[in-house]
Amino acid sequence: MASHRKSRTPGTRVAGIRTPALATAALTSVALLSQTAEAAPGEDRPSLEEVEKKVGDLYRQAESATEKYNAAKEKTGKQRKRVDTLLDDVAKRTQKLNEARSELGSYAAAQYRTGAGMPDTATFLLAETPQDIFDQRQVLDRMTGRQKAAVDDYVTQQTETMKKRQEATESLRTLTETQGDLKTAKATVQKKLADARELLSKLTAEEKARLAAIEKRKQEEAARKAAELARQQAEQEQAREEAAQQGGGASESSGSTGSTETPPADSSYGTKAEKAIAFARAQIGKPYVWGATGPGSYDCSGLTQAAWKAAGVSLPRTTYDQVNAGTTVPVSQAQPGDLVFFYDDVTHVGIYIGNGMMIHAPKPGTYVREESIYYDGDSAIHSIVRPA
The yes-or-no answer on residue 116 being catalytic is no
Task: Please report, for residues 94, 132, 136, 146, the alpha-carbon distance to residue 121 in angstroms, rounded to integers and kept in the order given.
Answer: 20, 13, 11, 11
* pLDDT mean across residues, the chain: 80
Name the helix (H) or strand (E) containing 138. helix 137-141
Say how far apart CA 1 and CA 127 lie, in whole Å.
Answer: 71
Name the helix (H) or strand (E) containing 279. helix 267-282
Say how far apart CA 286 and CA 369 lie, in whole Å.
Answer: 8
- Helices (runs of H) and strands (runs of E) counted in the chain: 11, 8
By the 8 A CB rule, do 19 and 12 touch? yes
Q: Give the strand pairing for 348-354 and 327-329.
A: unpaired
pLDDT per residue as tens digits for the range 318-364: 999 999 999 999 999 999 999 999 999 999 999 999 999 999 999 98
Q: Which residues pair with 287 in a beta bridge?
A: 367
The yes-or-no answer on residue 360 being catalytic is yes
Active-site residue, from 286, 360, 363, 382:
360
The yes-or-no answer on residue 382 being catalytic is no
Q: Which residues pair with 350 in a beta bridge?
A: 340
By the 8 A CB rule, do 155 and 133 touch? yes
Residue-wise DSSP of 347-373: -EEEEEEETTEEEE--STT-B-EEEET
Residue type, 176: T
Task: Please report, for residues 38, 234, 247, the alpha-carbon distance to residue 239 in angstroms, rounded to integers and kept in the order given.
Answer: 58, 9, 12
Say how far apart CA 100 and CA 153 lie, in whole Å.
Answer: 6
Written as tens digits, the pLDDT of the chain (388 aa) is 444 444 444 443 433 444 333 333 333 333 334 444 444 444 456 678 888 888 989 999 999 999 999 999 999 999 999 999 999 989 988 888 788 777 666 665 555 555 454 445 555 555 556 555 555 554 555 455 666 677 677 778 888 888 889 999 999 999 999 999 999 999 999 999 999 999 888 888 999 899 889 899 999 999 999 999 999 999 988 888 888 888 754 444 443 433 455 656 667 999 999 999 999 999 999 999 999 999 999 999 999 999 999 999 999 999 999 999 999 999 999 999 999 999 999 999 999 999 999 999 999 889 999 999 999 999 999 999 999 7
Task: Please report, for residues 253, 279, 311, the alpha-carbon distance to residue 266 in angstroms, rounded to integers and kept in the order given.
Answer: 18, 21, 15
Say how far apart CA 298 and CA 73 lie, in whole Å.
Answer: 15
Burial group, residue 259, by CB count within 10 angstroms (0-12, 13-18, 19+):
middle
3-state secondary structure of 305: helix
pLDDT per residue as tens digits for the range 30-57: 333 444 444 444 445 667 888 888 898 9
Name the helix (H) or strand (E) containing 213. helix 205-246
Active-site residue, from 6, 93, 348, 363:
348
Active-site residue, from 133, 292, 300, 303:
300
Say how far apart CA 246 and CA 227 lie, in whole Å.
Answer: 29
Say how far apart CA 73 and CA 368 lie, in whole Å.
Answer: 23
